Amino acid sequence: MTDTPASRLAALGITLPVAAAPAANYVPYVAIDGLLHISGNIPFAEDGSLIKGRLGDTMDVAGGVVAAQRCAIGLIAQMQAALGDLGRVRRIVKLGVFVASHPDFTDQPEVGNGASDLMVAVFGEAGRHARSAVGVAVLPRGVAVEIDAIVAIDA
């Protein structure tokens, strides 16, 4: 098996879900000028249920890491839907990580590492990216994490 994003996903035992449809009046992604802007993805468990909670209150860091990983899988599914071939990803440019947090919770960067580590595992050096990880009071549908992305792509 060649060393491609698809082969790395397989080696990790990850099967991409169908890319999530928008929940409101927006599109899931926009490709323009060599960049793919991906709307925020929320964490769906493998059974399709939402991963809900608030870090530092009803969820610990380990649960937040899993939620961030599931967001990253959703982002990769959007890349696949947009590009048809994950080999067209030149670089993960930036992730914006939003973590539903108790006011005293300050480990948002550790939660975000769930997504960041997966991007590097799947895309290698091209998966290394800039990132913000911020705590917020609440996220849509009560989920624990939401992540958006900017990806450099080949035409």
The answer, yes or no, to whether residue 155 has pLDDT greater than 90, is no
Summarize pLDDT for 95-116 with one digit per residue, the tens.
999 999 999 999 999 999 999 9
Sequence-distant (≥ 6) Cβ neighbours of residue 152 within 8 angstroms? 34, 35, 36, 89, 90, 91, 93
Task: Please report the sign of the dihedral spanned by the C-alpha atoms of residue 13, residue 125, residue 91, residue 148.
Answer: positive
Specify whether the CB–CB gap between 123 and 149 falls below 8 A. no
Longest CA pairwise span in the chain (Å): 47
Residue 101 is predicted with a pLDDT of 98
Name the CATH code of domain 5-15+28-153 (choices 3.30.1330.40, 2.40.100.10, 3.40.50.300, 3.40.640.10): 3.30.1330.40
Please state, in angstroms and rounded to a whole number, the distance separating the CA atoms of residues 120 and 138: 28
DSSP 78: H
Residue 138 is predicted with a pLDDT of 98
The answer, yes or no, to whether residue 47 has pLDDT greater than 90, is yes
Beta pairing partners, 137: none
Residue 2 is predicted with a pLDDT of 72
Determine the average pLDDT of the residues in 81-97. Answer: 97
| Amino acid found at 17 | P
The answer, yes or no, to whether residue 46 has pLDDT greater than 90, is yes
The residue extents of the domains of the chain are 5-15+28-153
Structure tokens at 19: 């890319």
The answer, yes or no, to whether residue 44 has pLDDT greater than 60, is yes
Summarize pLDDT for 13-38 with one digit per residue, the tens.
999 999 999 989 999 999 999 999 99
Residue 28 is predicted with a pLDDT of 98
